[in-house]
Amino acid sequence: NPQGEQTWSNNDKLSPYTNNIIQVWTSGTGVNKDQEENGYAYIKKQCMHCVDPNCVSVCPVSALKKDPKTGIVHYDKDVCTGCRYCMVACPYNVPKYDYNNPFGALHKCELCNQKGVERLDKGGLPGCVEVCPAGAVIFGTREELMAEAKKRLALKPGSEYHYPRQTLKSGDTYLHTVPKYYPHLYGEKEGGGTQVLVLTGVPYENLDLPKLDDLSTGARSEHVQHTLYKGMMLPLAVLAGLTVLVRRNTKNDHHDGGDDHES
């Protein structure tokens, strides 16, 4: 951008028809890769598969569930009522509703393991991981990927590193110069943590990744609810308050009625 303004690529939004996109962020002349000044950077946008997902917490019918084995946040369109609470709750603005479909449905990345695809269940990998030629997207357990990410953060910029392709144990690597990483692993703690972890060379705010507390909103609200409703104390307290209020109003009405009768 010759005016020096920050710009995005045209395909800058997830939609019911694009569950994964690659965005490009640029600043100034946009000639320096992974640099904030006059640079550019890529970011893959998809469901972050949160450790404690808000969308699962707010769904009133459990149409969104977190797989206890894989951690993938799955969506069941046959259960969904179309309330779209999940769209409001997601800090990453991921779930997209198909308003053009008369029956309606939400769409989001399920790491290619949704019903009818089940690549992981069949021993495969998510499609994006399988086809990435540079190992920019790899698959593994959260613990493995966190260790790999922190290893990369400790590398010397300008040195060379054999970046694993597909998985850390594949044996297939891509030799590439180490960039100067922004010194933070996004997703380690944000919103309670995510299973999609991000390393980049520019501040995460530039890539439209939100700054979040270490505790997810859903976990916080559930903790408050469980505390308040422990032993059914709050409902009883409210019921008692309502009973007193009704009784007082009844007495007042009776008293007022008596005055009218006497006059």
Residue 15 lies in a domain: no
The pLDDT value given to residue 253: 56
The pLDDT value given to residue 216: 82
Q: Are residues 78 and 179 in the same domain?
A: yes
Q: Are residues 108 and 233 in the same domain?
A: no
Q: How far apart are CA 19 and CA 13, in angstroms?
A: 9
The pLDDT value given to residue 215: 83
User: Residue 9: which region, alpha, beta or left (left: phi > 0; alpha: psi -120 to 50)?
Assistant: beta
User: Dmax of the chain from CA atoms?
Assistant: 98
Q: How far apart are CA 209 and CA 138, in angstroms?
A: 20
Residue 253 lies in a domain: no
Residue 198 lies in a domain: yes
Residues near 48 by Cβ (< 8 Å), separated by ≥ 6?
Answer: 92, 94, 187, 194, 195, 196
Percentage of the chain lying above the pLDDT 90 cut = 70
Q: Are residues 142 and 171 in the same domain?
A: yes
Q: Is 220 helix (H, G, I), strand (E, B) or coil?
A: helix
Q: Residue 151 has which token pair? A: 């290893």
Q: Are residues 98 and 228 in the same domain?
A: no
Residue 260 lies in a domain: no
Q: Are residues 26 and 40 in the same domain?
A: yes
Q: How far apart are CA 182 and CA 12, in angstroms?
A: 22
Q: Give the chain's domain count.
A: 2
Residue 231's domain comprises: 221-248
Residue 119 lies in a domain: yes
Q: Are residues 165 and 232 in the same domain?
A: no
Distances from the Cα of 190 to the Cαs of 8, 13, 171, 214, 237, in angstroms? 24, 21, 31, 5, 36
- Final residue of a domain: which of 172, 190, 215? 215
Q: How far apart are CA 166 and CA 129, in angstroms?
A: 5
The pLDDT value given to residue 184: 96
Report residues of the chain scoring pLDDT below 70: 1-12, 218-263
**Tens digit of each residue's pLDDT (9 = 90 or more) over 169-191:** 999 999 999 999 999 999 999 99
Q: Are residues 38 and 160 in the same domain?
A: yes
pTM: 0.79
Residue 10 lies in a domain: no
Q: Are residues 211 and 229 in the same domain?
A: no
Q: Are residues 38 and 146 in the same domain?
A: yes
Q: Are residues 166 and 228 in the same domain?
A: no
CATH number at residue 155: 3.30.70.20
The count of C-alpha atoms lying within 13 angstroms of the C-alpha of 53, restricted to the half-sphere facing its C-beta, is: 30
- Final residue of a domain: which of 215, 235, 258? 215
Residue 140 lies in a domain: yes
Shortest CA distance to 198 belongs to which of 220, 181, 223, 218? 181
Residue 53 lies in a domain: yes
Q: How far apart are CA 51 and CA 73, in angstroms?
A: 9
Q: Are residues 86 and 184 in the same domain?
A: yes
Q: Are residues 67 and 177 in the same domain?
A: yes
The pLDDT value given to residue 239: 65
